Each structure stands twice: as structure tokens, then as C-alpha cells.
């Protein structure tokens, strides 16, 4: 009995033209949902055959941009436009890191800090490489590459400078971990690999700064 109803429904909504199902009214979409709930096994087949009718029943409307929202592990939705914005935020942190490491590597004084001062010079070069990688990803996504760094704190104290760096690295690591999840939620697996590579460097920076400060690396 229910299969006869199914065939009628199928005949009515089968899209001969590609966009025919897009014109299905919201009432039809509602019918499709309640029908799905009543006849579960066969309704699964219907849903596979008519993905447009299924998407009409979603609570969240499609993104105004070119990709439908995807979900991260945390459940938050992400679009390609939001990913571009977030990558530009990452880029601003990389610019900040370049400036901070250039300045701090030269401004730090004291015999006990000479080893870490040399390390900071190396960090500066690595942060530049990260900035270029992130800018490439923004360009690949069709975004506009930002030009503004996050603010750089200054201090006369070597210890404070190292602490600023440590705090920034911790913030950067937290953000890149989230970015990996966002890239993967959007199916951008190569991009997530690039960010994982950057993460390795950031983790090393954090460890070296903690070591110079004589503390354990913070648990993030
Ligand atoms: Fe970096
Ligand atoms: Fe770093």
C-alpha cells in the first residue's frame, strides 16, 4: 500500500529538467519530510534519489556564498568566506610574529639570553615562510590577502619579551588547530596538511621559548 503512494510521489517530483525540483513549494517539502518519517526504509531511497528535496527541509538556509556550510567537530558551521576571514586573522598573527621576532632578537640583552636571541632570528624566517603559505591559501580560496599585523607589544625586559612571544605562540597554536578542523570540514585536505606543517614549527617555537624562560611549555 505504501509503495503505491511512494510511486505517485516519485512520479510527481521526479525532475525532468535539472531545476524542476528547485521549484518545489515549501508545502511539498513538508509533505516529503512527514512521508520520510512514516515509511523509513523506502524513504531513505527517496532521499538519495532527490537530494534537493532533502536539502529543502534543512533548517539552515544555504550560504549566500558558493559553498553550503559544513560542520566542524565542535558543531559550528563554517563557509569558505569565513575560512578566508579566519586565515587572514592567522596571517595577521604571522605578520605580528615576524615583527616581534625581528625586534626582540636584536633588542634582547644579557649573556644568558644570547642563545635564544639567535633562535628568535631563526623563528623570524620561519614566520615569514608561514605567512607566505597562508597568503597562498587565501589566494587559492579567492580571498583578498590582508596586510595588517596584530599589535606587537614592546618591553625593555628580556623575560617579558619572551613571555609575549610564548603567549602569542600559544594563541597561534590554538587557532591553527581550529583551522585544521575547518579546512577538513570543507574538504580542503591539502590546505589542512599545510597548516599541520606550520603547527609543527609553532609547537617547536613554544617549546624553545618555554625552555629559555625556564618553565614547562603550557598545556594547550
Ligand atoms: Fe608562524
Ligand atoms: Fe611561531
For residue 48, tell me if it sits in a domain. yes
Q: Are residues 195 and 87 in the same domain?
A: yes
Q: What is the pLDDT of residue 47?
A: 37
Q: Are residues 51 and 102 in the same domain?
A: no
Q: Are residues 196 and 133 in the same domain?
A: yes
CA–centroid distance, 111 to ligand 1, in Å, is 27
Nearest ligand, CA of residue 128?
A: 1
For residue 65, tell me if it sits in a domain. no
Any alpha helices (H) in the chain, and if so which ranges?
2-13, 26-38, 40-49, 51-56, 80-107, 114-140, 158-185, 189-213
Q: Are residues 116 and 17 in the same domain?
A: no
For the ranges 26-35, 112-121, 129-138, 166-175, which has the lowest average pLDDT? Answer: 26-35
For residue 37, tell me if it sits in a domain. yes
Can you give the residue range of the structural domain that contains 202? 77-213
Task: Let me know the angle formed at the C-alpha of 52 by 48 and 54, rounded to the nearest 5 degrees.
Answer: 65
Q: Are residues 36 and 128 in the same domain?
A: no
CA–centroid distance, 174 to ligand 1, in Å, is 12
Q: What is the pLDDT of residue 76?
A: 60
pLDDT one-digit tens code per residue, 195-220: 999 999 999 999 999 999 999 999 99
For residue 68, tell me if it sits in a domain. no
CA–centroid distance, 186 to ligand 2, in Å, is 25
Residue 171, C-alpha cell as written in the block: 594563541
For residue 71, tell me if it sits in a domain. no
CA–centroid distance, 152 to ligand 2, in Å, is 14
pLDDT band at residue 126 under the 50/70/90 scheme: very high
How much is the average pLDDT of 138-149? 98
For residue 218, tell me if it sits in a domain. no
Q: What is the pLDDT of residue 77?
A: 85
pLDDT reading at 151 higher than 60: yes
CA 73, distance to chain mean position in Å, is: 11
Domain CATH for 151:
1.20.1260.10
The environment of the single-atom ion ligand 2, i.e. residues with CB closer than 5 A, is 202, 205
pLDDT reading at 59 higher than 70: no
Q: Are residues 41 and 88 in the same domain?
A: no
CA–centroid distance, 33 to ligand 1, in Å, is 48
List strand residue ranges (DSSP E) for 31-190, in order: 70-71, 77-78
Q: Of 188, 165, 162, 163, which Cα lies nearest the Cα of 87?
A: 188
Q: Are residues 40 and 137 in the same domain?
A: no
Q: What is the pLDDT of residue 18?
A: 39
The Cα 196–Cα 185 span in angstroms is 15
The environment of the single-atom ion ligand 1, i.e. residues with CB closer than 5 A, is 94, 127, 130
CA–centroid distance, 181 to ligand 1, in Å, is 18
pLDDT reading at 1 higher than 70: no
pLDDT reading at 80 higher than 70: yes
Q: How many domains does the chain have?
A: 2
Q: Considering the entire predicted model, what is its pTM? A: 0.68
For the ranges 74-83, 108-117, 158-167, which has the lowest average pLDDT? Answer: 74-83
CA–centroid distance, 217 to ligand 2, in Å, is 14
For residue 177, tell me if it sits in a domain. yes
Amino acid at each position: 500500500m505504501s509503495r503505491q503512494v511512494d510511486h505517485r510521489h516519485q512520479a510527481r517530483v521526479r525532475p525532468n529538467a535539472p531545476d524542476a525540483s528547485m521549484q518545489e513549494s515549501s508545502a511539498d517539502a513538508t509533505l516529503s519530510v512527514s512521508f520520510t518519517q512514516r515509511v523509513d526504509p523506502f524513504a531513505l531511497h527517496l532521499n538519495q534519489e532527490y537530494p534537493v528535496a532533502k536539502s529543502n527541509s534543512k533548517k539552515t538556509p544555504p550560504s549566500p556564498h558558493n559553498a553550503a556550510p559544513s560542520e566542524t567537530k565542535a558543531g559550528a558551521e563554517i563557509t569558505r568566506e569565513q575560512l578566508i576571514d579566519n586565515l587572514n586573522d592567522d596571517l595577521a598573527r604571522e605578520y605580528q610574529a615576524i615583527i616581534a621576532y625581528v625586534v626582540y632578537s636584536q633588542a634582547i640583552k644579557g649573556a644568558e639570553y644570547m642563545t635564544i636571541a639567535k633562535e628568535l632570528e631563526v623563528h623570524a624566517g620561519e614566520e615569514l615562510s608561514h605567512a607566505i603559505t597562508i597568503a597562498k591559501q587565501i589566494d587559492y580560496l579567492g580571498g583578498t590577502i590582508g596586510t595588517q599585523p596584530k599589535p606587537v607589544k614592546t618591553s625593555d625586559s628580556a623575560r617579558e619579551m619572551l613571555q609575549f612571544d610564548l603567549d602569542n605562540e600559544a594563541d597561534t597554536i590554538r587557532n591553527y588547530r581550529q583551522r585544521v578542523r575547518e579546512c577538513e570540514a570543507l574538504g580542503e585536505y591539502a590546505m589542512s596538511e599545510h597548516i599541520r606543517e606550520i603547527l609543527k614549527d609553532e609547537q617547536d617555537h613554544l617549546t624553545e621559548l618555554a625552555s629559555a624562560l625556564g618553565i614547562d611549555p603550557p598545556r594547550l
